[in-house]
Structure 1
Amino acid sequence: MNQTWREEFSSSYGVERPGIADGDADRFGVGVGQVCMKEGSSFIPSRTGVTVIVGGNNSGKSTLLREIRQELTGIGYASPGNLTQSIQSLEKIVDGTPEDMLAWIVDRTQVVHGSYGPEIQLREGAEIKPIDLMRLFPSEIFLAETIESKIVHASNGEDRFRAVYETMQFDPYMSRPNEPIQYLQDNDELLNEISQLFQKVFGRPLELDLLNYQLNLRVGKTDMETPRLNDIPPEYREAMAALPPVSTQGDGVKSFMAQVLSVITGAYPVVLLDEPEAFLHPPQARVLGEYLGNFASAQGAQVIAATHDKNFLVGLLESSADVTVVRLTRDNGCPSASQLNSMELRAVWNNPILKYSNLLEGLFHQVVILAESETDCGFFRAVLDEMNIDNDFIPKGDILFVPTNGKSSMFKLAMTLRAVSVPVVAVTDIDILNDQRVLSNLVESVGSVWTDKMKSDLNIVSSAVKDKSKNNISVDEILNTLNSIFGDRRAEEFDSDMKREFNAHLRSKDSYWKTVKANGIGAFRGEQLSAISRLVKSLAEAGVVVVQEGELERLAPAVVERKSPGWLLAALEQGAHRGETAQRHVARILCAAQRALDRVAAPGVTPAEES
C-alpha cells in the first residue's frame, strides 16, 4: 500500500479504528491446518510447501480437494460442513492482524473513492469499506467470495486453459491486473522468467503481443526491435501476427503454461491443483513439479495437489520445497487418509539406491512386492504375466515389484510404504532365517506381528543348522561368496544393518546354510522339517514369502548360469517362468498380497494372530 492510501485510510477511518493503515502485508498469511476425515483418520498439510494427494481411481482425491475448498471458503455449498463426503472438519489458519490483512488485500486490489471515503474494489461492482473488511477477520474472510478469489487458487482439468487466452490490456493508472496475462503487461522480469521456462520445456521462447488493445501470449520471437506505440510499422504487425498464440497450441502446452501463469502471477497463499500433470508428457510433468515446488518454497505458499503421476512427484522432490504425501484408500465407504511427512520422504529420496529405483511408483499401485534384486523382480514379473488369475483378484497392472538391493534394506522400504497404507509383501531367499533380528524387523515392517511361535520354530531351525555346520572352509571361498553378494554394493554405507547382513552371510558360508540355500526346506528332516515348514507358512501369512526351494536360481534348476547377469535371460529363454515350481512360488506371493490388502482394509488384525 503506498503512502497516499495509508494517509487517506487514517484520515477517513482512523477515529473509529486507530492504526488502521499500520499493517504489514508480510505478516499476513492463511492456510489449511489439520484435516479430519469422517472415517476417523486425519492429516496435516505442509504449511509452506506441497502436499501430494495420491490413491487409486475412485479413492476420493478430487472430492477431497473440492471439500477442502468448500470447508475453507463455503464455495460450493451454503455453508462449510454441509454435505461433505470425506471431511469431518478442517482447521483454518490465519496469521497476522486485521491491519496486516488489510495491507495484504490492498496490495492485490484497487482502492477507489466511495461516497464516504476510500474503498477496496475486490472486483468491478464489488467495493467494500476497509473497516467492514476488517470485521471479517479472522475466519469470516474466507466466506466472502471476492476475497476468497485472492486467497485460494483452485484449478482442475475443466478450467485450467482459461489463463492463456487473450484478454484486454489494463490501465495501470486506473486499475490493477485481474487476469494472469495482465501481470506480464508491465513486468519484463516476470515475462522473461516465463519465457525462459517455456523455452526450457518446449524449446521456444514467448513474446507478449500488446497490439490492438489485446494481450496475447505468442510462441516465438519477432526478431525485430519493439517499436514505439505511436509508430508501429506494418512489418512488425505482420511478424507478430505470424507467431502462433499459446491458446492455439496443444492441450499439453496450454495446460502447462496456464497453471504456471495462474500460480506465479496470483501469488496465492493456498493453491489447490487437481491432476496438474494432465495432458503433459513425463518430462514436462517433472519440470512442472519442480517449478511449483520452488514457487511454494520461495513464496511460502501452501500447495495441495492430487496426482496419479510419479514424474510430477519426482519433480517436487527435486525442488527446495517441503513435500508430504497423503494416500487415500477407500473400502466401500468414506476414504481413509495416511500421511508420509516430509522428513520421512526425504530420507528415502536421499538414499541413492532408492532414489533411482521405482519405489515411489508404489504410491500409485494396489500392492508392492519387495524383492532382493532387479533380477528377482524381472523373473517374478515374467512368471506373473504367464499366470491366469481370478478376475476377482488384484489386477496384474496394480502389482508393482520393487528391488531392494539386499535383505537389510527391505524393512526400511516396507515401513515407508506402510506409513501411507500401501500393502507390502517381502520376498527373500531362505537364508534370511539366519538372522532373527532382520527377519523379525521385516515381519513387523509389513504390518504383522513377530510371534513367540515364529521365534520357537526359528530356534529349532537354527539349532539344526548349528549342529550340522562345518568348519573346514577356506578363506578364499569365504571372500568369493561375500564378493558375489556385496560386490555391486561397494558404494553403500557400512552401517549397522549392512554389518548384520554381512556377518550373517559370513556365518552362513562356514555353516550348513550353504546346503540349505541349495536344497531349501528339503535340507531338513523330522522335527526340523516340521518346524521350518510351519515357520515358512506363518511368515507367508504375515507377508514375508521365503523361497522354499532355497534361492531364486532354484526356481529355474535347468539354467547353468548362477549369480550372473545372464541368468534372467537364460531362465526366460528356457521357459523357466512357465514352470510349475516358479508359478507355485509366485502363487504364494499373490496369496500373501491379497492378505496384505486385507490387513490394510482391517487394521489391527493380522493373519499371524488369526492363525
Structure 2
Amino acid sequence: MNLVVDARLKEITFTGGLKIGLNGNAILAIIGPNNSGKSTALKEIKARMSAEPPHTKIISSVSLLRKSTTSEIVNQLSPFADNNGIISVPGNSFHLSHIQMWEYTGGIGAFLTRLLVSELDTRTRLSDCDPVAAIDTRAKLNPEHPFQRMYADDGLEFAVSSVFRRAFRMDLVIHRMSGSVIPAYVGQRPKPKRGEDRQSRSYVDRVEQLDKLEEQGDGMRSFASVVGRVITENRPIRLIDEPEAFLHPPQAKILANAIGAQGPTFQTVIATHSSDVIQGLLGDSQARVSVVRLMRTQNGSGATLLSTDDVSRFWNDPILRFSKVLDGLFHDGVIVTEADADCRFYEGLANKSLSEAQLLDVHYAYAGGKDRVPVLVSALSAVEVPVASVLDFDVLNNEQPLKRIIEAHKGDWSKFEPDWLAVKKAVESNDAYLSGDNYRLEVQKQLESYPKGSAVPRGTLSAIKKLSRNASPWDNVKDAGVTIVPKGTPYSSAMRLLSNLREIGVFVAPNGEMEGFCRSIGMHGMKWVEEVMKRDLANDTELAEARTFVAQVFAYLQRKAL
C-alpha cells in the first residue's frame, strides 16, 4: 500500500498565547528546563492533529496546510474498500466517509495523522534495533521499519551507514540472508571477493562475524534508530523527542546535523535538552531553525520564541558561542560571573548551603572579564532567560562597562548614576591616596634620581610600583569592598546603589571580591577555590556572609523564573 498524503504544520499555538508560523521545511526545536513540557508538547501536537480529546498543557491548537486533496486520498483508498465502503488496511479499519475529516479545519483523525507524522520517541528507540520480520519486496505494502526499507533499497542502507560511521567509525550492515528476520550488524563492511555477491554463503559468513546491533550499548542503538528512521521514512512531518538520549555530545551533534541535512522536503519538530543538538542543527540548516523555549510559571506553562535571527546571534557571536551561554537556554536561570573560579565557588556554595526549595536548575557562565558581561546578559535577557550578574566591587570604578551592564539588565542608568557618582567621588577623595598631580610629581622625582644613559635601578622601579599602588584607591578596593567608602552620606549612597543593583539582577560582592568572603585563605583565583571547597560550606562561620550573598542571588532568580 503506497499511499501518498501530503500536508504540513502551518501554525502552532501554545497555551501561553504564543503563535508561530512554520514554513514547509522548518526545523522547530522546543527547549527549556527539566519538566517544562518539551516531550508533552510533541505528544499534544500529534493529538491535536488526530482530533483526540483535548488534554492541553502546552499546545492549545495546531493548523495544517493541506497539499493533497480529498479526492486524491479517496482514489488511493478505494481499492481497499468493500461494498459497504469499509476500508481495511494494516492496523486500521474505517468507513471511507472518515476521509472527509481531511477537509475540516480541525484534526484529521488518527489514520491520516499516521500517514503524515513520523513519531520518534525515546520509549521504543532501543527495541527498534532488534531484528524485524523479513518482507516480500514485491508486495504493495510499504515497509514499516527502517531495516525493511534498507533491505529493499541498499542506497538507503549506505546513506544510514555513512552517518553511523561518522559517529562510531563503523558501518551499519543489513543482513539480507537471515531467513524470516532482518538483523543489522556493525563493524567494517565486508567487500565481496571475486565471484561473490551479497548472497554468497562466504560473504554472509563474514557479515555474521560482525557484532550484532541489538547487542550494542544504548547510545549506539539509539543513534541507529533515529538516523535510520530520519533517512528512510518519507512521511513529511517528523516529531523527534530527545534525539540526544544515551549519546555523548559529539554524537548528538552529528545526529542533529544529519536530521537537518535531510533537505527541504521535510518538516521537523524536536524536543531537546541539549545545546549540542542545537549546534548540530545550526551547522548546515541555520536558516531553517527556530527555537521555542518553554518555562514553568505560576500560571502554568509559558513559551518564548527565539527567531532565526536570535538563534544566529547565539551561534555566530564568538563571545556567546565559546562561553557556552547557549546552555543557559536549557535551565531555569543563568548566573554570569567574571571568571571561571567565581563560577566554581558560587556553584559549590549554593549546592552545599541552600535548601531544596531555594535551589534552581541554574547554569553558570563566565564572561572572561567585565567588558564581556553585558554581551552575555543582553543575549539571555532578549530571550527572557532569568539572569543574574555577580561582579567584583571594582566594577564601580568606571562608568563603562557598569552602564552597559545595568542597561543589559534592563535598568535605567539615570536612576543609578547619582549614587554611583557619589560613591566614586568619595572613594577617590580619600586622603590616604596620592592625587593625580602628586603622583606625577613623585614619579618624576624617581625618574630623575638616576643618571641619564644608565639602566633603571631596581630601587627606582620598586618605588614607582609603590607609588602606583597608592595612586588609586580602586587598586585596593578588592581588599576592602564597601568599607572603603567613608561613613555618612557616601556610605548611604553606596548601600542604596548596591541594593538597587540587586533589584535588577546585578550583585556586587560587598567584600570586594570572591576571596573577600574568606580572607584567612591567603590565595587567589582557582587555588583559593580549591582551599575553600575543603571547608564546611554550609556551616563555616567565616562564610556566613557568602551564604547570605548567594541566597540573595537565587532569591532573585526564583522571582524572575516565576
Q: Same fold (TM over 0.5)?
A: yes
Give runs of aligned pairs for residues 24-35 of structure 1, distance below 5 A: 29-35=7-13
1:287 pairs with 2:254: yes
Q: Is the 8 A contact 2:7 2:68 kept in 1?
A: no
1:539 pairs with 2:506: no
TM-score (normalizing by structure 2): 0.79
Equivalent position SS for 1:276: coil
| Paired letter, 1:155 | L
C-alpha distance 312-137 of structure 1, shift in aligned 2 (>3 A): same
Q: Structure 1 residue aligned with 2:59, among 67, 81, 87? A: 87
Using the TM superposition, give the Cα deviation of residue 115 of structure 1 relative to its aligned residue in structure 2, in angstroms: 8.8
Name the residue aligned to 1:572.
Answer: 530
For 1:371 and 1:193, how far apart are their aligned partners in 2? Answer: 45
Name the residue aligned to 2:36.
Answer: 59
Q: Is the 8 A contact 1:201 1:287 kept in 2?
A: yes
Q: Is the 8 A contact 2:332 2:561 kept in 1?
A: no
Query: Which shows bigger deviation, 300-309 or 234-243?
Result: 234-243
Q: Structure 2 residue aligned with 1:389, among 337, 354, 357? A: 354
Q: Is the 8 A contact 1:156 1:274 kept in 2?
A: yes
Q: Structure 2 residue aligned with 1:98, among 69, 80, 96? A: 69
Give 5+ residue unaligned stretches, structure 1.
6-24, 478-507, 602-611
Give runs of aligned pairs for residues 471-490 of structure 1, distance below 5 A: 471-472=436-437
Equivalent position SS for 1:143: coil
Equivalent position SS for 2:293: strand
Give runs of aligned pairs for residues 125-524 of structure 1, distance below 5 A: 143-161=108-126, 163-164=128-129, 165-172=131-138, 174-211=140-177, 212=179, 214-220=181-187, 221-225=189-193, 233-295=200-262, 298-321=263-286, 322-331=288-297, 333-384=299-350, 387-394=352-359, 398-436=361-399, 438-446=401-409, 449-450=411-412, 453-465=415-427, 467=429, 470-472=435-437, 512-524=473-485
Using the TM superposition, give the Cα deviation of residue 56 of structure 1 relative to its aligned residue in structure 2, in angstroms: 3.3
C-alpha distance 556-47 of structure 1, shift in aligned 2 (>3 A): farther
| Paired letter, 2:43 | R
Using the TM superposition, give the Cα deviation of residue 370 of structure 1 relative to its aligned residue in structure 2, in angstroms: 0.5
What's the RMSD between the two structures over aligned residues?
4.1
Using the TM superposition, give the Cα deviation of residue 270 of structure 1 relative to its aligned residue in structure 2, in angstroms: 1.8
For 2:470 and 2:31, how far apart are their aligned partners in 1? Answer: 44
Q: Is the 8 A contact 1:427 1:589 kept in 2?
A: no
For 1:583 and 1:49, how far apart are their aligned partners in 2? Answer: 51
For 2:529 and 2:297, how far apart are their aligned partners in 1? Answer: 39
Using the TM superposition, give the Cα deviation of residue 583 of structure 1 relative to its aligned residue in structure 2, in angstroms: 4.9
| 1:457-505 alpha-carbon deviations (Å, 9 max, x no partner) | 2232234356568324579x9xxxxxxxxxxxxxxxxxxxxxxxxxxxx
For 1:135 and 1:111, how far apart are their aligned partners in 2? Answer: 14
1:527 pairs with 2:489: yes
Name the residue aligned to 2:447.
Answer: none
Name the residue aligned to 2:449.
Answer: none
For 2:215 and 2:506, how far apart are their aligned partners in 1? Answer: 54
C-alpha distance 205-127 of structure 1, shift in aligned 2 (>3 A): farther
| 1:28-82 alpha-carbon deviations (Å, 9 max, x no partner) | 6512423231x444555676343222333332222221111111232xx24xxx2
Identity of aligned residues (%): 25
Q: Is the 8 A contact 2:517 2:545 kept in 1?
A: no
| 1:514-547 alpha-carbon deviations (Å, 9 max, x no partner) | 3444432222212111101111122123211112
Query: Which shows bigger deviation, 166-175 or 537-546?
Result: 166-175
Using the TM superposition, give the Cα deviation of residue 161 of structure 1 relative to its aligned residue in structure 2, in angstroms: 4.0
For 1:459 and 1:587, how far apart are their aligned partners in 2? Answer: 27
C-alpha distance 170-318 of structure 1, shift in aligned 2 (>3 A): same
Using the TM superposition, give the Cα deviation of residue 205 of structure 1 relative to its aligned residue in structure 2, in angstroms: 1.1
Using the TM superposition, give the Cα deviation of residue 223 of structure 1 relative to its aligned residue in structure 2, in angstroms: 4.4
Q: Is the 8 A contact 1:49 1:300 kept in 2?
A: no
For 2:59 and 2:139, how far apart are their aligned partners in 1? Answer: 45
Q: Is the 8 A contact 2:419 2:493 kept in 1?
A: yes
Equivalent position SS for 2:292: strand
Equivalent position SS for 1:335: strand
State the aligned residue count: 521
C-alpha distance 442-190 of structure 1, shift in aligned 2 (>3 A): same
For 1:272 and 1:360, how far apart are their aligned partners in 2? Answer: 23
Give runs of aligned pairs for residues 7-86 of structure 1, distance below 5 A: 29-37=7-15, 39-43=16-20, 48-74=25-51, 77-78=52-53, 82-86=54-58
For 2:526 and 2:82, how far apart are their aligned partners in 1? Answer: 82
C-alpha distance 276-294 of structure 1, shift in aligned 2 (>3 A): same
| 1:352-393 alpha-carbon deviations (Å, 9 max, x no partner) | 3332333233233333210011122233334445x4323421
Using the TM superposition, give the Cα deviation of residue 313 of structure 1 relative to its aligned residue in structure 2, in angstroms: 3.0
For 1:222 and 1:111, how far apart are their aligned partners in 2? Answer: 45
Equivalent position SS for 1:370: strand
| 1:193-216 alpha-carbon deviations (Å, 9 max, x no partner) | 211222222232122222226433
Using the TM superposition, give the Cα deviation of residue 394 of structure 1 relative to its aligned residue in structure 2, in angstroms: 0.7
| 1:575-603 alpha-carbon deviations (Å, 9 max, x no partner) | 797675655235313312212221331xx
Q: Structure 2 residue aligned with 1:590, among 536, 551, 561? A: 551
Q: Is the 8 A contact 2:30 2:38 kept in 1?
A: yes
C-alpha distance 273-232 of structure 1, shift in aligned 2 (>3 A): closer
For 1:325 and 1:392, how far apart are their aligned partners in 2? Answer: 29
